[in-house]
Structure formats: structure tokens, C-alpha cells
Structure 1
Amino acid sequence: MTRPRIGFVGLGQMGRPMATRLDEAGYPLTVFDAAPFAPIGSATSATALDGLAGVDILILMLPNSAVVTAVLEELAPRLSSGTLVVDMSSSEPLQTRALAAQLAGRDLRFVDAPVSGGVRGAVAGTLAIMAGGDISSVRPVLDVLGRTVLEVGPVGSGHAAKALNNLVSAATLSVTVEALRLGAEFGIDPATLTAVLNSSSGRSNTSENKVAQFMLDGSYASGFALQLMAKDVRIAVGLARELAQRTEIADRVAEQWSRVAGEVTPQTDHTAMYELIGGPR
């Protein structure tokens, strides 16, 4: 069976290892990025977006909805009828639905399939992928990239689920850091309190996989930027506004993460919140 020709746009920290896995799996691959990049295996490097015109599947791994829209405005007229566009970026759910409708008018298919798992998951192919729309024709491709592929609903649902997941993740990280700081001020060693959390009802992904690994040693090297987490939290809260839903805790989480995100560099890891929040009033 002939494998589909894949185009991949966006070779950042996440995109490059994902594209590399597809190349290593033997998919005919053409890659493009706005910034200079080193070659990827046997993949063809497009020097302009129109070099992707002949692909069967177009995967986007870009910073936000605005960039996704800009790329597709230029590229969509060049794509063949029936081409499947897969947006694996962290985009805005309602904009995703509007974009899917626009592409359908050009006889282009669209699904959203954002990921969770960070750079390590991208390298290992163990990402969690949240898919919105009909992924039946692209499922084998997604299985190369992720350990878990969850079909969460119609187009846009993947992006909504990703933002909501990261809202919960950010909120959990914030309250865990505050608890550790409070415990330390009272005289409880943070490592000891982490052990308490992990053996009790306060256990979370943060306490199990981030505190000892990236916070207490000061490495802050989980591979997911603080500003990107803040962006996803804002997407979740923005969705609540669009749906006229009240979000008291989420509003405070968004306020905190947005404030701190404005004080750091794009390279700052989200686990650095350990030293950026808490402390005396």
C-alpha cells in the first residue's frame, strides 16, 4: 500500500522531532520552516510554502491560530482537492472551526490534533494526541507520533481539550508550588512534602513528574515553555468567555500565569514557576 505524502510545517522544539519520527517511519516527507534548519534524514526541504503543494496530508505545528491562518491563506489555493490538513498546534477552538469551514469550501479536509507530552514525548513518540474531527485516514500517522490518540469530538474539540488540559495542569502546578513554599516556611522540607503529596490525595502530575525532576534541583528543563502554558490558559479562559461560562479559579490562574509570562523570556521553562511565585507578601 502506497504511503501518503506528508508535508510538515513548523520545525521548532516539538515539530522537528515529530517530523524526524515520520521520516524514520518511512513516510515520504517534505518539510518547511520560516527559520533556517538542518536537514531531516531523507525528507525533502521546501524552500517556500508552494513546495508543499503536492502532499496528501499537511501537518502544521505552529505557534498560534494567527500563524496557522496566515500559512493556510497562502498555501490552501495550491493544495489538491481532498488534501487533509492536520493542525497539531495549540490553536483557538472557535477559530479552528471557522477555518475548517473555510477550507471545506475549497474541498480541503481538516482535523485538529494538538499534543501533550513535551519535547521528550515528541522525541520518544509517546505524546498524547487530542483529535477533533474524522482522523480515520490519518490515524496510522498519528500513531507514529503518540502513544495515546484520543478522539474527543468534532473539529475544534482537540484544541479545546488541549487548552482545558493545560488549564488544569497550570492550576495544579501553581497550587503545588504555593503549598511547597508554605510548607518550607513552616519548616517542612519540600522533598518531604512532595513525598506526602505523592502518597496522599494531593498527588498530581506536577508532584509526581515535575517537582523532584525539574524544580527542586533548579534545572527547570521539562521542555515546555512558561509563555506557551500561559497562552494555553488564556485560550481556555477565552473559550469560557465565548461560551458565557463563569470561571472563578481559571480567571485567577490566567491572571497569574499571564503576569509571570510577561516577566520572563520565551526560553523560560514552565517549571520555573517554582522560583517565580510564592514567598512573602
Structure 2
Amino acid sequence: MNRFARFGLILAVLIVLAILGGMHNPAFLTTDNGLSILRAAAMSGIVALGATFITLSGRFFSLALGNTVMFTGITLAVAMSYGMPFYLALTLTFVVAIAIGAVQGAIIAMGANPIITTLGASALLAGLAGFATNGVNVAIHSDLVAWLGNARIIGVPTQTWAFVIAVAIAWWAINKTRFGHETVLLGANSASARAAGLSVARVTITVFIIASLAAAVVGVLAAAQFSKARVMGFSGLDFDIIAAVLIGGTAIQGGRGSPVQTALGAVVIATIQNYMLLLAWSSGVRTMITGALIVLIVVGFHLAGNRRRTR
């Protein structure tokens, strides 16, 4: 299935979800609810855009991004609690994110399994966060941070604007830069990439840094939204990130994918979850149904692609 066909299918799924949601609950189609959906999609979608680079490069997934979001938010909050100005604390947060991504990328570039490496990194980040905070949330007392997390520019939340900007940057980086072409080539055919003189280590480290920086952006936005950094509450984020990448059609073996479609995948997930929240369904039921729908969508896309190739 080509990129445009998959884009059309994802868009069709969104339209069907909107129609069904509106038929059963008129509140679903209100402007405020639509903005809520996009805001929720932004919080997983920005990280999913970073994860798309990892998957495109043939490095499967990172299971540390949810805890990277949590840890970077805590980094910002702890730094500010010691009197550090916001801009310096923000710089420190991004430096920490770069280090987190670079270390994981370097280990994986040496031949380590990406899943095991990132799972270990996730556990390490969770442990460090618990040690630094004693397991409690860290408050942030700053009007600027509160504005960043709750402002609406032209009526649209800052998280949504950040999402739109991130989509544009990711699309440009993948489609218009040498690094983007190298990332796709590495995922499509690693042997050819090496034969062409491509530095596998450099690309691998860079894609993990990009994903960690995307997680840091969401960590800052999440902490700003509630004026506190939460130690808990990100357990399901890795699932949403991977689901958005898969629904968006990025090939799990690498070499094929689109950040725009990843963004749409995040919106699909947020739309499904929003509708179930309006129905006041329990967390367990929401998780079960979301997982089932994601499996159906991914399998449907796979079967459609196979049918097209056999014609």
C-alpha cells in the first residue's frame, strides 16, 4: 500500500470515528472537545514523531520514552525548585534528554538489542526519578510555566501548536535533509547503507537523541500544564507511542514511513480514548477496546497492502 492510500485510509478511519461519536453523543463533535482531542493527541504524538525516526532507521522501538517524559519533567521541576531560572532549567532539561538518548543510541550502535537496552534504560530512569523525588510530585511555582502549559493562542492550546510545529519539522527532516535520507536508507537496507559509507553509529545515536528531545518537549509541557512534575501517570504512554507509529504505517523493520501519518495515528488513538471517556467507561475497558481497535486497524492495513501487492 502506498503512502497516499494509507493516508486516505487513516483519514477515513478518523471520519468514521467522528460520525459514530457524533451520532451517539452530540458533545463529541463540539469545538471544545475537538481541541481536547488534539491536545491529548499532541502529548503522545510529539513523542511518536521522535519514535518514528527510530523505527525508520530499523531500530524497532524505544521502551524508555514514557519514562523519559517523566524524568525530563522532573528535571525541570527539581532544577527550578533549587532557584534555577526557567530558561536555564529548560536548557538543562534538554541537555539531560540529549545525554539519555545518546547513551542508549551508542549502546545500540555497538550491537545491543534495542528493546532490552531501552527497557533497562526505562527502569533506570524510573529508579533515578524515585530517588530524586522520594516518589512524590514536585511542584513548580512559575507564572511563565503555568502560561506555557495552559495558554491558548488564537483559541488553540500551546500543546497543539507544538504538535503542528513538530510535524512540520519531522516531515522536513525526513524528506528534505541528507540525514533523513540516510535514516530511511539504513532502515531499508543496512548492508547498502554501510557499503555507501554511511556511519551507522552516527545515525543510530542521532535518532535516539531526536526521540529523547521529543520526549523532553512533552515532559516540559506536561509539567507546565499541571504546574508540577508527576512521578506516576505515564505508564500507558509507551503503548500510545508505539500504536501511533504502527497505525501511521511506519514499517517495523524500517525504511518506510511518514511523520504526518504518525501524527494522524496519534489523533486516531486520542479520538477513540476521548469518546470512551465521554461514555464514562472504566480504565480497564478503555485499554482493552483501544488495544483491540488498534490491532484491527493495523491488521486491516496489512491485509490491504498484501492484496494490493498480489494484483
Instruction: Give the TM-score category using the shorter length.
Output: under 0.3
Normalising by structure 1, what TM-score? Answer: 0.27
Higher percent of residues as strand: 1
With CA pairs under 8 Å and 6+ residues apart, which has the higher RCO, 1 or 2? 2
Normalising by structure 2, what TM-score? Answer: 0.25
